[in-house]
């Protein structure tokens, strides 16, 4: 137990790493933010965080903080409606799609998707491009047949396969648009056999570039990278599919339950929905998805350009499969990787350790990650190379 003194009073502080009110009072005007390259939860726009801070004690002039509003209150309903409206606007989502805010992360979508749409005598095609695809595949196998339409496991998922083999009449085709761990990203959607719908785990690149929503049956994404805090999952799903889902399932596991009740069958993740709404508004103010794509290409391009010119660092993903969101690279020497990560952390460049299954370094530079942070990383890597190269 850690104790510290407030004048004459001793205050018990069971969790010394959680700032107490007193520390918060002292620190709130000198917030220092460092470059956070975490793969998720990840950097969010400072303007959004500031607006949220303002609304913690009272949302607008309601006198009730955003965390405290009933989800049935008029004030919160307006927050929810704005989030849905901005989502439709930003991504150009047609009216025949429902927008749902669910819980359970992308991991629950790995289950809900086949549970709703894959009968035990049916087959779904899955493109296996990494650990998250594999998790989705494992869940689908509990409900029906899975055909692996392609895999890049032979080279530890460092590329997106060109060839996809389709099964005869799959219920749907599932792919992971960006592979967070391996730094690879699809440049276009895979082909779709007639009668099937396209299902996409877009957790780590949603709204980083324009998307043609009408090509998909369902798109889902945990919010904690490009959209907001963890705890809310965005699901964009065609209405005819919602109606077609397995009606025998437990209530909470049917898409129709959530669509019929505007994501409020039970208490929704209100704070998450609020932040997602602010972030979608922020994206719109930045110029929408086309502007996002340009900024993301620019940021990632500067980092890849350096890596390509470096004698010490090498990107791990094949050139034509490179992700704009997660840039993975290695020195080829584990000790040097570790030294680089440690020195970067000390220099205020945090979260660069690659996923344990790949090693090396990973810079996650989602929509809200500032371009100046990428420049600081490039400069740091250049200096590191000069010092130890
Ligand atoms: C592409 C992808 N899919 C799924 C997940 C799992 O998401 P969740 O933790 O929201 O279940 C992640 C998490 O990082 C991810 O990057």
Query: Where do you find CATH 3.40.640.10 in the chain?
Result: 74-285
* Catalytic choice (35, 98, 225, 282): 225
CATH 2.60.120.650 fits 288-388, yes or no: no
Residue 18 has pLDDT above 60, yes or no: no
Cβ neighbours for 324, distance < 8 A, ≥ 6 positions apart:
185, 205, 208, 209, 293, 296, 297, 299, 300, 365
Which of 132, 223, 226, 351 has the most ligand 1 atoms within 8 A of CB, as the residue to mutate?
A: 132
Q: Which atom of ligand 1 is nearest to the CA of 178?
A: 1
Q: Which pLDDT does position 269 carry in this prediction?
A: 98
Is residue 263 within 6 Å of ligand 1 at its C-beta?
A: no
Residue 176 pLDDT exceeds 50 = yes
Tokens of 367: 């929509």
Indicate the range of 14-28, 46-60, 62-76, 173-187 predicted with least confidence.
Answer: 14-28
**What gap in Å lies between CA 116 and CA 125, rounded to an integer?**
15
How many residues are there in the chain? Answer: 389
For 249-267, the pLDDT digits (tens) are: 999 999 999 999 999 999 9
272 lines ligand 1 (CB under 6 A): no
Cβ of 105 closer than 6 Å to ligand 1, yes or no, is: yes
- Using a 10 angstrom Cβ sphere, with 0-12 exposed, 13-18 middle and 19 or more buried, the burial of residue 27 is exposed
User: Is the minimum distance from the CB of 326 to ligand 1 under 6 angstroms?
Assistant: no
pLDDT of residue 30: 54
Catalytic residue among 35, 98, 201, 337: 201
Split at pLDDT 50, 70, 90, the class of 5 is very low
Residue 198 near residue 172, CB atoms below 8 Å: yes
DSSP for 115-171? HHH--TT-EEEEEE-SHHHHHHHHHHTTTSEEEEEEE-GGGTT-S--S-----SS-S
Atom of ligand 1 nearest to the CA of 230: 10
- Helix (H) or strand (E) run with residue 359 in it: none
For the chain, what is the mean pLDDT?
A: 94
Q: Which fold has domain 74-285?
A: 3.40.640
| Alpha-carbon gap, residue 324 to 9, rounded angstroms | 52
Question: What is the rounded distance in angstroms from the CA atom of residue 385 to the CA atom of residue 309?
Answer: 11
Exposed e or buried b per residue across 71-89, where buried means at least 16 C-beta atoms within 10 angstroms of its C-beta: beeeebeebbebbbebbbe
- pLDDT, one tens digit per residue, over 324-349 is 999 999 999 999 999 999 999 999 99
Q: How confident is the model at residue 31 (pLDDT cuts 50, 70, 90)?
A: confident
Check pLDDT > 90 for residue 307.
Answer: yes
Say if residues 303 and 327 touch (Cβ distance below 8 Å).
Answer: yes
Q: What is the number of the ligand 1 atom nearest to the C-alpha of 181?
A: 16
pLDDT attached to residue 3: 42
97 lines ligand 1 (CB under 6 A): no
Mean pLDDT, residues 154-181: 97
- What's the gap in Å between 114 CA and the centre of ligand 1? 17
Q: Where in the chain is the domain with CATH 3.90.1150.10?
A: 288-388
Q: According to DSSP H, which parts of the chain are helical?
A: 21-27, 46-57, 74-91, 105-117, 131-140, 239-244, 255-260, 270-285, 288-309, 334-346, 371-388
Is 60 exceeded by the pLDDT of residue 33? yes
Quick one: pLDDT at residue 145? 98
Burial status of residue 385 (CB atoms within 10 A of its CB: 0-12, 13-18, 19 or more): middle
Reply yes or no on whether 132 is catalytic. Answer: yes
Cis before 106 (ω within 30): no
On the 0-12 / 13-18 / 19+ scale of CB atoms within 10 A, 12 is: exposed
pLDDT digits 0-9 by tens, 191-210: 999 999 999 999 999 999 99
Decide whether any atom of ligand 1 lies within 6 Å of the 222 Cβ: yes
Q: Does ligand 1 have an atom closer than 6 angstroms to the CB of 268?
A: no
Distance, in Å, from the CA atom of 196 to the CA atom of 203, rounded to the nearest integer, reads 22
pLDDT at residue 365, rounded to an integer: 98
| Mean pLDDT, residues 39-43 taken together | 98
Q: What percent of the chain shows pLDDT beyond 90?
A: 91
Does the CB atom of residue 205 touch ligand 1 within 6 A?
Answer: no
What per-residue confidence (pLDDT) applies to 4?
A: 41
Q: Whose CA is nearest to atom 16 of ligand 1?
A: 180
* Catalytic member of 98, 132, 295, 353: 132
Mean pLDDT across the stretch 47-69? 97
Does the active-site annotation cover 201? Answer: yes
What is the pLDDT at residue 17?
53
Cα dihedral across residues 218, 223, 228, 232: positive or negative: positive
> Do 15 and 31 touch, CB atoms closer than 8 A?
no
Condensed to tens digits (0 to 9), the pLDDT of residues 345-363 reads 999 999 999 999 899 999 9
Q: What pLDDT score does 13 carry?
A: 53
Say yes or no to pLDDT of 112 above 50. yes
CA distance 315 to 208: 21
d(CA 388, CA 336): 9
pLDDT of 12: 55
Question: What is the phi-psi region of residue 251: left when phi exceeds 0, alpha when psi lies from -120 to 50, beta otherwise?
Answer: alpha
pLDDT at residue 91, rounded to an integer: 98
pLDDT at residue 65 is higher than 90? yes
Distance 179 CA to ligand 1 centre (A): 9
Distance (angstroms) between ligand 1 centre and the Cα of 241 equals: 23
């Amino acid at each position: 137990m850690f104790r510290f003194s407030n004048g004459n009073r001793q205050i018990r502080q069971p969790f010394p790493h959680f700032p107490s009110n007193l520390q918060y009072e002292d620190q709130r005007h000198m917030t220092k933010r460092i470059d956070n390259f975490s793969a998720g939860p990840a950097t969010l726009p400072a303007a959004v965080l500031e607006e949220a801070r303002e609304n913690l004690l009272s949302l607008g002039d309601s006198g009730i903080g955003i965390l405290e509003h009933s989800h049935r209150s008029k004030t919160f309903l307006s927050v929810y409606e704005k989030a849905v409206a901005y989502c439709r606007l930003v991504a150009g989502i047609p009216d025949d799609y429902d927008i749902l805010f669910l819980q359970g992360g992308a991991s629950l979508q790995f289950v809900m998707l086949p549970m709703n749409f894959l009968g035990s005598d049916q087959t779904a095609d899955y493109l296996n491009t990494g650990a998250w695809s594999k998790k989705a595949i494992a869940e689908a196998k509990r409900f029906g047949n899975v055909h692996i339409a392609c895999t890049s496991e032979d080279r530890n998922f460092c590329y997106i396969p060109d060839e996809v083999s389709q099964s005869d009449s799959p219920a749907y085709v599932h792919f992971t648009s960006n592979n967070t761990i391996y730094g690879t990203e699809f440049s276009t959607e895979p082909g779709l056999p007639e009668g099937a719908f396209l299902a996409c785990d877009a957790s780590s690149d949603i709204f980083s570039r324009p998307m043609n929503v009408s090509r998909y049956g369902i798109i889902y994404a945990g919010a904690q990278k490009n959209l907001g805090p963890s705890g809310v999952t965005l699901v964009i799903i065609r209405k005819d599919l919602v109606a077609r889902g397995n009606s025998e399932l437990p209530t909470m596991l049917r898409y129709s339950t959530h669509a019929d009740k505007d994501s409020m069958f039970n208490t929704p993740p209100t704070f998450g929905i609020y932040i997602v709404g602010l972030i979608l508004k922020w994206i719109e103010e930045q110029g929408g998805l086309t502007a996002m794509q340009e900024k993301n290409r620019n940021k990632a391009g500067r980092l890849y350009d350096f890596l390509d010119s470096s004698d010490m660092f090498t990107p791990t993903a094949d050139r034509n499969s490179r992700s704009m969101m997660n840039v993975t690279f290695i020195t080829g020497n584990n000790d040097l990787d570790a030294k680089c990560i440690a020195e970067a952390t000390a220099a205020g460049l945090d979260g660069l350790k690659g996923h344990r299954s790949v090693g090396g370094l990973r810079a996650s530079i989602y929509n809200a990650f500032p371009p100046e942070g990428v420049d600081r990383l490039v400069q740091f890597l250049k200096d590191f190379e000069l010092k130890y190269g």
